[in-house]
Every structure is written in C-alpha cells, then in structure tokens.
Chains A and B, each alone.
Chain A
Amino acid sequence: MRRPKRPLFLARAPYRRRRLRDAARLLPVLGAFLLLLPLLWTPGSRMALTSGDVVYFFSVWLVLIVLAAAFAPGLRGGEGADDEED
C-alpha cells in the first residue's frame, strides 16, 4: 500500500512544526550527551561526588525538562498521518 505522494516543500507553519519534531527527537540525544559528559572530566574517567557534580546533574536535568516543556505544546496537535516521521 503506497502512501500518497507527499509534498516536497512546505509552507512556513508546517515547516516550523516539522523542525519542532526534529528538535524533540534530538532532545534525548542531547540529554544523553550531557549526562555522559562528566565521565570524561577527571583523569582515569572517574568522577567523585562533589557538590559541583550534584549541581551540574540537576542543572542538566532541569534544562531538559524546560526544553521538553517548551516543545510539548507545539507537538501535541499534529500527530497522525498528515505527515510521517521519517
């Protein structure tokens, strides 16, 4: 079952919505990167528990939440067959 041909180029609003989806998909990648980054900080790839680490992890966590909250309203409506993820 071939899907109907999709338009090659989009108007401004759908274009923005699609980029928003891209951003939402990239968010966990960014998160994983930031959460694994401290492994490279100290020599021998070992990290001690200091207050700095605690503050760092909680800041990253909060940033991820804020970004996800910023993306969520724009993403809520447009799920469905109108255009697919790939």
Chain B
Amino acid sequence: MPFNLLVLACFLYVAFLFTVAFLVERRADRRRLGWLRSPLVYTLSLSIYCTAWTFYGAVGYAARSGLEFLTIYFGPTLVFVGWWWLLRKLVRIGRQHHVTSVADLISSRYGKSNTLGVIVTMLAVVAATPYIALQLQSVVLSFGVFASAAPDGSRPLEAGQIAVWVAVGLALFTILFGTRNLDAREQHHGIVTAIAVEAVVKLVALLAVGSFVVWGIAGGVADVIARIDAADLAAWQVQPGRWTGLILLSAAAVITLPRMFQVMVVENEDEGHLARASWAFPLYLLGMSLFIVPIAVVGLERMPAGANPDMFVLTLPLAEGQAALAMLAFLGGFSSATSMVIVESIALATMISNHVMIPLWLRLRPGAAEEDDLRSVVLMARRLAIAAVLALGYGYYQLSGGSAALASIGLIAFLGVAQVLPAMLGGIFWRGATRTGAILGLVTGLTVWAYTSFLPSFGPGAVLPETVFADGLFGLGWLRPHALFGTQAMDPIIHALFWSMALNVLAFCLGSLFTFPGPVERLQGAAFVNIFEGAVGPQRWARGRAEPEALLGMAQRILGEETALSLFQSAARAQGKEVFLPDPTPAFLDQLEARLSGSVGAATAHAMISQLVGRATVTVEDLMAVASESAQILEYSARLEAREAELTRTAGALREANEKLTQLSLQKDAFLSQISHELRTPMTSIRAFSEILTEGDLPAEAVMRYGRIIHDEAKRLTRLLDDLLDLSVLENGAVQLNLGLASLQGMIDTALTAARQTRPDRDFQVVRDLPAEAIYLRTDADRLTQVFINLISNARKYCDAPRAELRIVVLQRSGRVTVDFIDNGKGIPKESQALIFEKFARLTDANRAGGAGLGLAICREIMTNLGGSVAYLPGQRGAAFRVTVPLRLERLAA
C-alpha cells in the first residue's frame, strides 16, 4: 500500500472527526443535542480507557504474559458493576459541586486548598506525560509498519517528523474544540461525540481483525481453542500477587485517571447514564479483549520469530495480504491514541490552568480579578497548557528515543495516578479526613512511587545511579528501589504498589487523625460525605461587604456578559427585587461561587470571591452557631410535638368529662323520676287506707290492720328518706367518720348477727376463715359494718341456691385488706354487673324485700369515704363482692 495513501486516509479520518465535532458543537449551541446526550454516547466515551497501549499492546501483553492482560480490564469491570458503591457518589458530587477535574475534587473537598490542587496536578502531569509519549510512539510505530512494508522503500517521513505532526494535529484539535468556551460545567460535546465515534472505530477494527484471524486464518472457534492449547503460551504461569495486584491497580486507575474522571464525572450529562454504563462499559471491554488471545496465538504461529507482538494487529493482516483490513486496524489504533491524548490533555490543561496558572496570575497581579478579561486569560492559559502537555509528551518521546522501556509505562502511570485514591475515597466516605492528611498521603505516595517505580523505569544509571539499585540510597541496603525494607521477593510493580499505597494510606490516616480541619474543610467534608442527604451545612459566606457591582464585573469577566447578567438578574428576582443587582446575601455568594468554580475551579473561585467579600468566609464559631441553631430548631419542634400531644390529651379528657356530664344529667333525671315513683307508691297506699279509715264504721280488726299497713308504709318511707339523706351526705363527702381501731372479725360477727333479721326463715350456711379475720383496722367500724350487713343481707335475699352458702374470704396485702363475700347462687348476669351499684337498681322485683335499691349505692359511697372500694367480683360461680379497705385510714374526719 502506498505510504501516501495511508497519510491521506489518516488526514481524511481526522477531517471527518473535525467535522463531527464541529457539527455537534453547532447543535449544542442551538441546544438540540437529542440522542447525542444518550447513555450510549456516554458509554462509548468511557472507552478512552482503552488507549493504543491496550489496542496494540494487549496482543503483545498476551503473547508475553498470557492471560495477565485481562487484569487491566477486570478492575474497571468490577468498579463499574459495583457502581452503586462509589461511582454513583462520585458523579453526584461532581455534578453538584461543579467539579472540573480530579485535582479540583480533591482541592474542593479539603477546604478548597490550592496546595492540594497543585500537588494532584503535578502528580497527574508527571504520570501522564510518559503515557502520552507512549501514544505518540504507537502511532509512529504503526506508521513504521506500513513504511517498511512499502516495496519502493521510499520513506517520505522520519519517525520524529510523524510524531511532530501528530502532536501538532492533536493540539490543534484539542485547542479548537476543547477551549471553545469556558462552559460552566466544563462539557465538551463535540469532543465527547468525536471520541464516541473513535470508540466505535476501535471496536470495529479489533473485532474485524479478530474475526479475520479466527475464521479467515484459523478454522473457526474449535480450531483456535486447539491452537491455544498447543501454543507456547500454555507454558506461561500466573503469579498470584501480580494477578490480584493488577486487578486492584486497574480498578483504582479507572477512577483516578484524569481522562477517565473527565469523561465519567465532568462530562456526565445525567446520572441515569451511569446505570446503563455499569454493564455496557464492561461489555465494551469484553468486546475489545475477545479476540486478543486468538490474535496473539495465531500471530506467534504465523509471524517470523523476531516480529514485534505489539504490532500483530497490523502485521498479521498485512502479511496475509489484507491491506484494507490493515488500514482499518491502523485507524483503530490511531483512534485509540488520539482520543486518549485529546481527553488527557484537556483534563490536564484544566488542572494546570485552574490550579497553577490562574492562581499565579492572580497572585502576580492582585487587581486582576477586577480589571482584566479573565475569560480570555483562562482560555489562553488552557490553550497554552494543552500545547505544553503535548510538548512534554513529545519531548519525553524524543528523550526516551522510543525505547522499549515505554512499553511498561502504562502500569507505572496507573500506579502514579492511583496515589490519589486514598485522598479521594477518604474524602467522600470519611468526614474525618483532613487537608493535612491528604497532603501527607499524596506526597508520601508520590515520593515512594517516584523512587520505586517511576525513576527506575528509565533503567539503571539513567536517573538513579546503578549503585542505588544495588546498595540502596546513601548505601542503605533497606532503601533499594526494588526491595524497600528488604522485600525483594516481590515483582517490581507489585512491590511499588504495595509500598506506595501502604505508606500513602498510613500517612493519610495518621495525618487526618492528628490534625484539626478548618471550617471550610469541615463544611466541604460534610457536604461531600453526606451528598445524598440533600443540602448540608450553613452558607459558606457570612454576609460580607461585597459590592454587587464588583461581583457582577468579576462574574462577567469569567462567565461572559450575558450569562453573568442573567445569573444576577434571576438571583435578584429570587430576592424579590426588580433591579439587576441582587444583594450579596450568603446564599447568592454561594450560588455565584458554584458557577465560577465550574469555570476556574473551586479553589480559584473561592479565592476570587473572598478577595471581593473581604472576609475569610466562615469561622468555626459560625459552624457552631449553625449547629446550635439547628439544635434549637430540633428542640423547638420537639417542644411543639410535646405540646400537641398534651393538647390532644386535654381534648380527650374534656370530651370524656363532657360525656360524663351528659350522662350525669340523664342520671339525675332518671333519679328524680325514680325517686318520685318510689315515694309515690307508699304514699298512695297510705292515702288510700287513711281515706278508708276516715270513713269510719269499720270493724276494729280492720282498723288495726289498715293502721298497721299505714304504719309499715310510713316506716318504709322514712327508711327511704333516711337512705336518701345518707346517700346525699355520703356523696357530698360531708359524712362524719368515726375513726377508731376495730377488729375485722368483730365487725363481721356483728354484721352476720344483724343480717339474720333478713329472711330469718332461710337456712343459710356461712363459711369463714377466722384466723385470717384476726386483723385490726383503723377505720369507721359502724360504717364498714353497715356495708357488710348490706352485702350479707343481699346474699340472704337473692341467693337462689337450694342450700345457700356464703363464703367470707379475707386477704391482706400491701396495706390493704380485701373481704370477699361469695355465695353459691346464680350470680349476677354480666350485662347487669355494671348497673348494680347505681341508685334504684334492682335486678328482679321478685325478692323485693323492702329495699329501695339504694343499698349498694350507699355501700359504694361509704367505701369511697373510707378510702376503699366495693366491686363485683366476676368469675366466682356465685355472686361475689369484694370490699377493699385500707389497713389504716389516715384521713381525719372531715
């Protein structure tokens, strides 16, 4: 294939990408993105994880180390299928806090500290530069494959020239589409879509080459499986440490790599996309690695012994005469390299401009925030940073001379950025993580990584002298880069992973445990860790003395005039003002800061606003004040609740009282009609008989009989009136109690004797427990005896058993004495039990033996006056009454 054709294809492809990005940006400007904001595009854009290192290198990796290449994909797979743990929170934080990069996340979490931002930026740049060089190298190598295959031997371009042109082209593309505007959320729709297109090209290319190898060269799946078993690869054996360590490493890298963070968090449009990506991205990775082993195995079989296995994806189709397929594979590799470089340089440029260049600019020109057009300054800084990043990558490539040492740089870069992991995870899951801890951890990790992994990667004698490798730093044997503290049994990368992460975590935890975070730090910590619990914490700004006009001026210089004006206007409207300028309330300052931090990073935005507001934001006292304020609110609401409960109780009590009053009124009416009835019956007979007597002319015995009847009825009337009087006295509590010491047994004796007058004809057995009755009570003996008489008489009257029997059971417990009167009759039906203590309640008229139905009512009143009670005792087979009386009645007679 003519080399020039290749260059032309390459050029056309790049032009195609430019067009795609341009069209998408235009649609984005008109806010008509439609399906371009779908989860599919999001998932495909995540594929920048697969760089040229994985596109070409995976086959080489498989050819050299068997299945170990899979670990690079297993880590991300585990992270994504477990998105509910971590990625969800990360994306939510990124969206809510307008995070622009990994460095911004870390700096924002730890009190908007720019120091941390600078450290992370430095780490990212150091780790990414060789990686970018690796991409350039892969492009150069793939060009080289075609060039050497060209028969005429004309090589119009040197490797260095190719690298230069690729770097320049990438810089141009990135600057054009990566720094078009200073979007509030750092989103680059054009670039993301171009990357999604490249992702498709990568996948299609690799699947095409794989299918060709499996079904074109080999004889199908079964044949490939047989070849795998027959290949030399079978001799490869896994090291458990490397296997586990590399899965962990790649899992950490997929979260912390600046380019992954850029597409995963910063460019995220919708959290729902993450749910789709949780399985779709692993599926993409599966697709990318599906044919790696067959390609490696067949390549090792078919290609000459000295062939570079890294280039099998290209050389295998070329050797089989499939030029078109080779071209596709070349474009796939080219896509992998370019997409990685583009996103990486954007991510790094954002970090560099936000955390290094702009703060420096503001430091050097203190008035800059109020004077210059910061917008163009930031954009220019970003363009310069992109160019610088690419220049660094190119310089590294030139310095290392495209050596084979680059091949291992992928894992080393992973390990470098993974140093951010403790600070990141600690920051979003542990409120106790502090800025000092994060700085210590990062610096420790960075140092150990550089010493054990990064610097030695240049080879012995390049940066670290050979004596250091052999004898350790300063001749200290336990400081050898590949055997820290004597651990020489480990594989170098695992050794570096182990020690850098262990010391990093240790420093981070110790630093956090022993330091006290500042107020902004604590505020941010709470906001990050509790991101799912809604707005947390107080305003970050006390009401300052900021001039709204100065703020507007600054916002205009960063956001652009129109955006800033509409932001201020809507804020003013929200405050209920009709003018353009809102009051600089804490809420507004917060909102403004969030918007600005989307463009220049949290630390810079914070610094700029505090320059105008003039006050160093919140203090610990403010935090405490807010805490006590919210505690007061809680307490207040608790008090309200208690009051409400009390009100409900009172209302219930009132309702009950009302019901009782109504009932009492009804009872009173009933009582009056009852009493008139009761009084009328004897009166009627007295009147009737006295009338007969006044007529005279009666036999003497009739006169005597009638006189006796009149006398009896009068006696009954008197008794009734006595009872009524007694009851009213008792009910009013105006009764005179005659307290004294009396024997219970004596009282019962008296009662039994007195009650014998009631139906003296009946044979009535009384069962008593005399020893139990030997109790002396301090009470009104006469009144109590009256109650006993009443109960015993009732039993004599109403017990309907043929052999009537009354049991009197006395029990004494805790200062009270109970006396039960239990007969063996039918008892009282359940529905009547509540009635019997009411006035004039008589169950049957059958045994109406002169009582007016007031007996039990009087008993009840007497017992109330005596501090005890009388109640019907159910479940005793017969009628049973329990009298409860205190052992000693202390109340003085009223």
A81 contacts across to B, CB distance below 8 A: 532-534
Q: Is the Cβ of A46 less than 8 Å from the Cβ of B79?
A: no
B237 touches A47 (CB 8 A): yes
Known: A39-B243, A79-B92. 13 other contacts (CB 8 A): A21-B84, A25-B82, A27-B82, A28-B82, A29-B82, A31-B77, A35-B247, A49-B233, A49-B236, A64-B282, A66-B279, A73-B275, A81-B532
What string of 1s and 0s marks CB contacts (under 8 Å) between B627-646 and chain A? 00010001000000000000
A50 and B228 contacting across the interface, CB-CB below 8 Å:
yes
Contacts of A55 in B (CB 8 A): 225
Identify the closest chain B residue to A66 (Cβ): B279
CA distance A6 to B516 in the complex (A): 32
Residues in B with CB closer than 8 Å to A21 are 84
The 6 closest A-B pairs by CB, nearest first: A28-B82, A68-B279, A69-B279, A49-B66, A68-B81, A76-B275
By a beta-carbon cutoff of 8 Å, the part of chain A in contact with chain B is 1-3, 21, 24-25, 27-29, 31-32, 35-36, 38-39, 45-51, 53-55, 57-58, 61-62, 64-69, 71-73, 75-76, 79-81, 84-85
Enumerate chain B residues within 8 angstroms of A80, measured Cβ to Cβ. Answer: 532
B160 CB to nearest A CB, Å:
38
| Cα-based distance from A66 to B278 in the complex (angstroms) | 10
Residues of A within 8 A of B282 (CB): 61, 64-65, 68
Question: CB distance B84 to A46 under 8 Å?
Answer: no
Given the complex, which residues of B lie within 8 Å of A39, measured CB to CB?
Answer: 238, 240, 243-244
Chain A residue contacts of B272, Cβ below 8 A: 76
Knowing A76-B272, A81-B534 are in contact, say whether A1-B630 is a contact too (CB < 8 A): yes
> 1/0 per position for B117-156, CB-CB distance to A under 8 A?
0000000000000000000000000000000000000000
A61:B286 contact, CB within 8 angstroms? yes
Chain B residues numbered 580-611 whose CB sits less than 8 Å from any CB in chain A: none
Give the distance in Å from the alpha carbon of A46 to the alpha carbon of B225 in the complex: 21
Residue in A closest to B65 when the chains form the complex, CB atoms? A49
User: At the interface, is chain A mostly helix, strand, loop or mixed?
Assistant: helix
- Docked-complex contact A46 and B88, CB < 8 angstroms: no
Say if the beta carbon of B474 comes within 8 Å of chain A.
Answer: no
Q: Please, how many angstroms separate the alpha-carbon atoms of A38 and B243 in the complex? A: 10
A54 touches B276 (CB 8 A): no
| CB-based contact A27/B634 at 8 Å | no
Question: What's the least CB distance linking A32 to chain B, in Å?
Answer: 6
Interface on B for A, CB 8 Å cutoff? 66-67, 70, 74, 77-85, 88, 92, 225-226, 228-229, 233-240, 243-244, 247, 271-272, 275-276, 278-280, 282-283, 286, 290, 293, 532-534, 536-537, 630, 634
Contact of A51 with B228 in the complex, beta carbons under 8 Å: yes
Using A36-B244, A81-B532 as known contacts, say yes or no to A57 and B67 having CB atoms under 8 A apart.
yes
Cα A24 to Cα B86 in complex, Å, equals 12
Q: B276 contacts which chain A residues (CB < 8 A)?
A: 72, 76
* Nearest B residue (CB) for A75: B275
- Distance in Å: Cβ of A17 to nearest Cβ of chain B: 12
> In the complex the two chains form, is B228's CB within 8 Å of A49's CB?
yes
Q: Decide if A54 touches B228 in the complex (CB within 8 Å).
A: yes
Q: A36-B244, A67-B81 are in contact. Are A58 and B290 (CB under 8 A)?
A: yes
Q: What is the minimal beta-carbon distance from B426 to any residue of chain A, in angstroms?
A: 17
Question: Which residue of chain B has its CB nearest to the CB of A44?
Answer: B237
Q: Tell me which of A54, A71, A81 has the highest count of chain B C-beta atoms within 10 A of its own C-beta.
A: A54
CB contacts (< 8 Å) of B66 on chain A: these are 48-49
Whether B275 lies near A31 (C-beta < 8 A) is no
User: Nearest Cβ distance between residue B461 and chain A, in whole angstroms?
Assistant: 34
Closest beta carbon of chain B to A13's beta carbon, Å = 18
Nearest-neighbor residue (CB-CB) of A24 within chain B? B84
Are A72 and B278 CB-contacts (below 8 A) given A1-B536, A64-B77, A81-B533? yes
Rounded to whole Å, the gap between the CB of A43 and the closest CB of chain B is 11
Residues in B whose Cβ lies below 8 Å from that of A28: 78-79, 81-82, 85
Q: Is the CB of A25 within 8 A of B84?
A: yes
Contact check, B247 vs A32: say whether CB atoms are below 8 A apart: yes
What separation, in Å, do the CA atoms of A84 and B536 have in the docked complex? 15
CB of A84 within 8 A of CB of B533, answer yes
- Asked if A65 and B238 make an inter-chain contact with CB atoms under 8 angstroms apart, the answer reads no
A57, B278: Cβ atoms under 8 Å? no
The listed residue (A1, A36, A65) touching B81 by CB distance below 8 A is A65
Q: How far is the CA of A3 from the CA of B634 in the complex (A)?
A: 11
A24 to B534, CA, bound (A): 23
A68 adjacent to B236 (CB under 8 Å): no
Residue in contact with B237 in the complex, picked from A24, A31, A46, CB distance below 8 Å: A46
Cβ contact within 8 Å between B234 and A65:
no
Beta-carbon nearest neighbor of A32 in chain B: B78
Return B526 CB to nearest CB of chain A, in Å: 8
CB distance from B314 to the nearest CB of A (A): 23
Cα A57 to Cα B79 with chains together (Å): 17
* Smallest beta-carbon distance A8→chain B, Å: 19
Query: What separation, in Å, do the CA atoms of A61 and B228 have in the docked complex?
Result: 20
Most chain B CB within 10 A, of A2, A28, A46, A57, is at A28
A85 contacts B532, C-beta separation under 8 Å: yes
In whole Å, how far is B33's beta carbon from the nearest beta carbon of chain A?
20
The chain B residue with its CB closest to the CB of A83 is B532
A75 surroundings in chain B (CB, below 8 A): 84, 275
